[in-house]
Amino acid sequence: MILKELEIEFGNERLILNNQRALYWPAENALIIADLHLGKAAHFRKNGIAIPTQISQTDLYILNKLIVHYQPEKLIIVGDFVHAQTNTEIEDFIKFKANHSTTQFILIKGNHDRLSDTYLHSLGIDFITNELKMNQISFIHELQQEQYQNTVSGHIHPGVQFTLGKTKKSLPCFVVDDYSLILPAFSQFTGLDTRNYYSNNVVFYPFNLKEILEFKF
């Protein structure tokens, strides 16, 4: 895994974006991701759609590497943690959490997190909430309106599209403006929303496996 980082200031806090779909908050020693969609690929396979088994294994492999690197006290999942009930991917996550028992796993519930809190706790989630505020930063899965200041969200799987000659290429990205920071989907098994409907003063931070970039529009 090649880890590239880019430091920004958001909500009067120093945050570190990286090219592995995660955000690190040094002051809180918190690793932050969104849209893990655990169990989604296995759910599709169960329903006859051929999806490689390596997808979720790769996601957990990268997450493990990030936890080992940052040694966070907290892992904050900003919604859409689990996509389906018990399957092999869920079992893999239970083992994964057991290997990181000293890290507190916090879930801000998303639209796909429909399972009971009791069940989510049984998977290893330590704290579950619909919204969370830490210092001057708020966390919510889906940002509905510009009513929150300094809000970190997920949900839309943001991306940017480039035209290189006759070829169009899309990359996942972080999206930051005056009031919000939208996280990329951590799962590789998601689409990208490349619509340009963001507010003024927006900065896009697209990335690939080797670098993270900055584009202002």
> Among 20, 23, 2, 5, which residue's Cα sits nearest to residue 176?
23
Residues 6 or more apart whose CB falls under 8 angstroms from that of 145 comprise none
Residues in the chain: 217
CATH node for 5-216: 3.60.21
- Give me the residue spans of the domains in the chain: 5-216
Looking at residue 55, what is its pLDDT?
60
Q: What is the pTM of this model?
A: 0.90
Tokens of 13: 């806090």
pLDDT tens-place string over residues 59-81: 999 999 999 999 999 999 998 89
Report the first-to-last Cα separation within the chain, whole angstroms.
30
- Whether 188 and 59 have beta carbons less than 8 Å apart is answered as yes
pLDDT tens-place string over residues 35-62: 998 865 544 445 444 455 566 578 999 9
Task: Assess whether pLDDT exceeds 90 at residue 198.
Answer: no
Q: How confident is the model at residue 84 (pLDDT cuts 50, 70, 90)?
A: low
